[in-house]
Structure 1
Amino acid sequence: MHGFFVYLLLLISESLSIINQNKFEIKRNFLLMAVLGCTALILLSCKREKEAQDESIKLIIKDALNNERDAYLSEIASSIEYIPLETSDKSLVASLHRPILIDGTFYIIDHKWKDIKRFRRDGKFLGYVGGLGRAKGEFTSANPFNLFVDNEKGYPYIFDNTKLIEYNPEGSFVREIYVPDFKNSNAHIFKMIKFSSYYFIDALDFSSGKSHLIILDSLGSPLNQLPNFDKPEKSEKDGESDGPVEFMSATPAHIYRFNDLLRIVTPDCDSIISFDNSLIRSVAYVIDYGNSKMTGTAGNDRENSVSAITTFTTESDNAIFLSLRIGENIKSSEFGEWYRALYNKRSGEFNLLRKKGKRDAMINDLDGGVAFWPINHSPQGELIMPLSAMEFIDAADKSNSSEMKRVAATLKEDSNPVIVVVKVKK
């Protein structure tokens, strides 16, 4: 490529030296330069496209399994906080799975009470978002994986069967956005999420077993070709087509925000796809299982197989956190043990965390407190892990953290959960 540009410069220099030739000669040389310039741009474009394709990072599961070690929280984090949520009749949280923290507010779906609660960053109860029911602005189910918060405006959204309900940061209803009417019972909508001015829908075709990614504009009109739920179409590998994005799985994809990007973990967790604000699609990470990929078939082949749990994938600026099931001593269709794998973006290390009893997490060497493994992340560079009051009290008793012991002394066994928040290193 370098030699080509040297040659191009020599041609331009030669053209300038013959500037006094007749008009025909000048036109001929100008056309020659134009053709060469266009060729150079095409070659540059091809080179950039190839470089973009090569930017995806491969995480090889075998490497992680062969590099089991203790991982320390100080490798990725600079500080840790323990935030008890206010306990009252109105704020009581019975079941906390996946809290969201954004712009100083916690959003929590209580799966038991089927409501969405808001808490301030210091744990003070702020109120509810929407409510259970069938009226406008109400939802009929409360799934923690269907609650999202818009990074730009801080507006919470919850997907409820056929619509995405939008609220303002104070929890008041704003509007509803409906999914397209596919008029086919074979179509099942897993989730719908707002990203920038677009809406992404994860839909399943029961007849073919494929999941499809559908993108709508701000008015709800499809931007990509809608899937044909009547006749299964030939699947194309992601990144090779501008048509529908298809996943060969009957389980939902995991969709989350990472900085200014939308990340999609494919249902079988073999890649993490990115979309930017211009809807440019790329593959950020490829997860290579080698010969140990879970086939879904019961029997001996599952004993040494590995599967990653898509919905428990978390990402920060400096790490990716994967939850794995390793099929040791699997009988029939039972799952194997849970393990955690950590990819350090800065060092490039990919490790399986060494188990400590029944819990495998990062050793807390920041203050000697509870071991940490994130459930979610915030756009402000924080990672989040919830603990029930009983879990927290027990962990504080066994820890060397004076701050944990101080917070535990304020709790009862039936108090609201405590959310552990760590600040990610820059």
Structure 2
Amino acid sequence: MKKMLFGLMTAIATFTGCEPRQASGELPRIDLTATSFASGQLGIADEIESIEYVPLELTDESLIADVLDLCVSDEYIFVYSTRQDGVLQFDRKGKFLRCIAKTGNGPGETGQIISLTVDEENRLFCVSEYFSTSFYSFDGEFIKKIENPRPYSYQFSVGPNTMVELGRMYVPMNTPGMFSLGVFNWATGDTVAFRHTIGDTSLMPLEETSLKGWIYSGSMDGMLCYSDGIDTVWNVNAKNIVPAFLINTGYSAEEEKETRSSKTGNEAVDGKYSVFGFFETPRHYFVKCFEGSDQSQFYLYGLDKETGELKRETSSLNAQELFKNNWTLAGIGIRNTKDNGLPVWPYLSYPSKKQMVQFNTAVEIEYLKEKYPGLKEHPVLLQVTEDSNPLVTIYHMR
């Protein structure tokens, strides 16, 4: 997920709507600059088996302001929020249980949290900070902290004792210890898979190249990872790191160099497309992007993995307005014709478990009710007021 709007940071043959399915061995490619697309609206309802709504309980101890990160296990929901001293743990019905990983310098306490993940097989909740990871039982008991000298931005569990790590952003790639993507076994200390660089390294020397704007989402067997200025979305799983699909943003070589330069920020280029997020389902890859530096007009793309058909829709919502209510822009999502509920755009996806998870803040839901009056009739959304805690939605896929 990309956290870049308003500067906030924290995802071969070209297919158009009229072209045939991809040849064997070629990577799927989403061409954001295409001029023709398959007819019909982007759809996802036929891939959804059921929808589970989880209103998070609101108490004095569980009041959530802005959500900074969230992860979900088979039994629990963990939320890292501003104005809270640690991570809030809820059960899958939304009942508040406890606060863990509180701020401090003592055993089990944390400083600057950068990501949350769950090792389901070992029943461990994992909290990543810069250069360390703390492990807790699902009952909130602190187990241990492991120091880690590698310069990473995020960590995600992709199997028992196995973490994907995304390299540190805005640091020149020739810095000692720098890397792009890695898979590591924290129990044994072994490196499972590793890539020092991603993208075209011939464009400029490593001392002038850096990673920008990580975007990530679950893949069928691990994580999909993408950094601005490259054309490849990588699949990183418990065994290896391989290309998953390509995205053509229309950037020239010079513009790509500028985007990837360690001397520049993360600005978009006028007239070109910038990826904001993506996710995978069994049948599709979906991408959300915007054009140019205005960042108010967003587009949704859907690529059918089997046929190669590419569809596109233009959002009717103003992203600048929506961003004030939820930085994930979940409201700019795919039309939900399954139960006529909220637009579908997951913050987390677990395709291997056939689940996708999104959260919508209460003020975002109230905003969407005004934009889409039909939402006022939805039985779950009727119970949400502007003072409610966020609503977590879990989509169970076919």
Aligned-residue identity in percent: 19
Question: Number of matched residues?
Answer: 343
CA RMSD for the aligned pairs?
3.8
**Equivalent in 298, 316, 337 of residue 338 of structure 1:** 298
**Equivalent in 359, 367, 392 of residue 339 of structure 2:** 367
Q: How far has the Cα of 1:69 moved from its partner?
A: 5.7
Residue 390 (structure 1) aligned with residue 363 (structure 2): yes
Residue 142 (structure 1) aligned with residue 128 (structure 2): no
Equivalent residue runs for 1:26-425 within 5 Å: 54=25, 56-63=27-34, 66=37, 70-143=41-114, 146-180=115-149, 188-196=151-159, 197-204=161-168, 206-208=171-173, 211-217=179-185, 218-222=187-191, 248-251=209-212, 253-268=214-229, 270-277=231-238, 279-291=239-251, 295=256, 296=258, 302-309=269-276, 312-327=277-292, 330=293, 335=295, 337-358=297-318, 360-378=332-350, 380-393=353-366, 395-396=368-369, 398-400=372-374, 404=378, 406-424=379-397
State the distance in 2 between where 1:336 and 1:388 align. 20
Corresponding residue of 2:5: none
Superposed CA offset, 1:49-105 (max 9, x none): xxx992532222233875686323424323334321111112211112543222132
Superposed CA offset, 1:14-53 (max 9, x none): xxxxxxxxxxxxxxxxxxxxxxxxxxxxxxxxxxxxxx99
More moved, 131-140 vs 68-77: 68-77
Contact 2:167 2:211 survives alignment (8 Å): no
Residues 111 and 270 of structure 1: CA distance in aligned 2, closer, same or farther (over 3 Å): farther
Report the TM-score, using the length of structure 2 for normalisation: 0.72
Corresponding residue of 2:20: none
Residues 253 and 411 of structure 1: CA distance in aligned 2, closer, same or farther (over 3 Å): closer
Letter aligned with residue 166 of structure 2: D
Where do 5+ consecutive residues of structure 2 fail to align? 1-22, 201-205, 319-330
Q: Secondary structure at the match of 1:313?
A: strand
Letter aligned with residue 346 of structure 2: P
The structure that is helix-richer by fraction is: 1
Letter aligned with residue 307 of structure 1: S
Superposed CA offset, 1:184-235 (max 9, x none): xxxx4323344434444333483447753344443335567897xxxxxxx6
Contact 2:220 2:280 survives alignment (8 Å): no
Where do 5+ consecutive residues of structure 1 fail to align? 1-51, 182-187, 228-234, 239-244
Q: Which has the larger radius of gyration?
A: 1
Q: Secondary structure at the match of 1:107?
A: strand
Contact 2:179 2:195 survives alignment (8 Å): no
Residues 267 and 395 of structure 1: CA distance in aligned 2, closer, same or farther (over 3 Å): closer
Residues 288 and 92 of structure 1: CA distance in aligned 2, closer, same or farther (over 3 Å): same
State the distance in 1 between where 2:145 and 2:390 align. 31
State the distance in 2 between where 1:271 and 1:92 align. 39
Q: Secondary structure at the match of 1:99?
A: strand
